[in-house]
Amino acid sequence: MNSSHSFDASPRHFARPSRSRGPLELGVVALLAFAATRPGLAHSPSAKHGASGAAAPGPARLTLFEDVRIFDGRHASLSAPSHVLVRDNVIERISTAPIAAEPDTTVIPAAGRVLMPGLIDMHWHAMLVRSTPAALLANDMGYTNLQAGAEATATLMRGFTTVRDMGGPSFALKRAIDEGLLPGPRIYPSGAVITVTSGHGDFRQLSELPRTLGGPLSRVEQLGGAAIADSPDEVRLRVREQLMHGATQIKLTAGGGVASPFSPLDVSTFTQEELHAAVEAAENWGTYVCTHAYTSASIQRSIAAGVKCIEHGHLMDDATARLMAQKGIWLSTQPFLDLGGAAALGPVEQGQMRQVVSGTARVYALARKYGIKTAFGTDILFSAALAERQGAMLADLTHWYTAAEALIMATSTNAELLALSGPRNPYPGKLGVVEQGALADLLVVDGDPLRDIRLVADPGKNFLVIMKNGVIYKNTLPGFGR
């Protein structure tokens, strides 16, 4: 039995493609050399991934979890003591009887600890966490990518093995992670947020107006952070561009937002015809549209246009919630409970943030009242410190849900929404569950999160093993490999 996957503070090797590297990739490798010295980080040299997340050809990589209690992502109870065999990147067998270890199997003696699926964040911005809007517009894109790479590793080390990126130029980051250049979560990218002139995501200055049709792109558009579209034809063009880049779903801002300088919360932006153009273009590619929408008006217009998922929804009314349930529309919302990070906003934006926070309890109450299909996300922006609360925000769901309901939402329920991307899904296979045939994104928890969900708020201490796609990135089980 092989215990070579013991990961501690010592430097480890990362998977590297055999082709030569350009200057940007050499910069990424330098980041990896630094990341490899961080406690608990490692990446198996045999763990090269393709875009699908499948392991590269070669000898099978075997991992055996012994003596675990399983939270499977679907049910509100733990299994009997069990054993789980992972072959390459798939869970091959689960048994209450001992499983004989083949030669070169990495055996993880969990001693009765809990095995659960990796967590999923359905509203993440991989490129926008560690900077400010002004810095993002001014910085060289190479630096922004390196920042995002460091944050991607931190995200994985918090136990979030998959994120749905809801706006930003994350395609290159996704590729680097999939190819094994650096550790990070699976990314379902939306690409540029599509907005209208003055809408949420339009960060131009007034001095840049009037816009000249066919003229130069604004800085945020050049970076791929947003795309401004003011007619159905422009919307189709911008949607098709994101799909060409590899978007798994499309995001439009159907109403105002907190942080954008020219989009009050109460405004509705896209017309129904413009929204429908996006839906039509996305459906032609077998995928779906999400809209950023807080108010009833923007939500109802989105639904009428064929949008499948509403992001936020904190200011909607009872009738709109009932409509969402009747139409089977997904609600991807966030447990905003305080004004964390609002100090960096201006007075108007702080007031809008207070409005959103005041609507949090209501949106979850309406979701429960009508049985709306509800996904969990965090929408953390512009603060590495707030990103450390990613797991704590999941635990905050227990203001309205049981611990089991919250964990199910952040695993198997979120995976159901990911599956709406259909043929655009870059990681075909079962996510968010621990069952035979599922992709091996797994956490070993030192404690029972069904009894104490706050365990997920301190992943450095409580997530002893982190596996993504069958590769162990962290293992701090006491005595492992000694």
> Does residue 98 lie within any of the structural domains?
no
> Does residue 51 lie within any of the structural domains?
no
Q: How many domains does the chain contain in total?
A: 1
pLDDT 10s digits, 84-120 = 999 999 999 999 999 999 999 999 999 999 999 999 9
> Does residue 213 lie within any of the structural domains?
yes
What pLDDT is recorded for position 479? 65
Q: Each residue's pLDDT tens digit in the chain (482 positions)?
A: 444 333 333 333 333 333 334 434 434 433 443 344 343 444 333 334 444 455 556 678 999 999 999 999 999 999 999 999 999 999 999 999 999 999 999 999 999 999 999 999 999 999 988 777 777 777 888 888 898 899 999 999 999 999 999 999 999 999 999 999 999 999 999 999 999 998 898 888 787 788 877 778 887 777 778 899 999 999 999 999 999 999 999 999 999 988 878 888 999 999 999 999 999 999 999 999 999 999 999 999 999 999 999 999 999 999 999 999 999 999 999 999 986 665 566 778 788 888 899 999 999 999 999 999 999 999 988 878 888 899 999 999 999 999 999 999 999 999 999 999 999 999 999 999 999 999 999 999 999 999 999 999 999 999 999 999 999 999 999 866 54
Rounded to 5°, angle at Cα 368 from 364 and 369: 115
User: In angstroms, rounded to a whole number, what is the distance separating the alpha carbons of residues 353 and 81?
Assistant: 46
CATH number, position 132: 3.20.20.140
* Cβ-contact 402, 104 below 8 angstroms: no
Tell me whether residue 332 is exposed, middle or buried, using C-beta atoms within 10 angstroms of its C-beta: 0 to 12, 13 to 18, 19 or more.
Answer: buried
> Does residue 22 lie within any of the structural domains?
no
What pLDDT is recorded for position 13? 33
- List helix spans (H) across 359-464: 360-370, 384-387, 390-396, 403-408, 414-418, 459-462
What pLDDT is recorded for position 26? 37
User: Which strand (E) or helix (H) includes residue 65?
Assistant: strand 62-70
What pLDDT is recorded for position 272? 97
> Does residue 230 lie within any of the structural domains?
yes
The pTM assigned to this predicted structure is 0.87
What pLDDT is recorded for position 50? 45
Tokens read off for 456: 């997920």
For the chain, the C-alpha Rg in angstroms (whole number) is: 22
What pLDDT is recorded for position 42? 43
Q: Which domain holds residue 259?
A: 119-424
- Which candidate, 369, 360, 286, 357, places its Cα nearest to that of 324? 369
C-beta neighbour count of 346 within 10 angstroms: 11
> Does residue 125 lie within any of the structural domains?
yes
* Cβ-contact 277, 236 below 8 angstroms: yes
What pLDDT is recorded for position 340? 66
* Cβ-contact 384, 130 below 8 angstroms: yes
User: In angstroms, rounded to a whole number, what is the distance separating the alpha carbons of residues 184 and 54?
Assistant: 15
> Does residue 81 lie within any of the structural domains?
no
What pLDDT is recorded for position 385? 84
* Cβ-contact 359, 258 below 8 angstroms: no
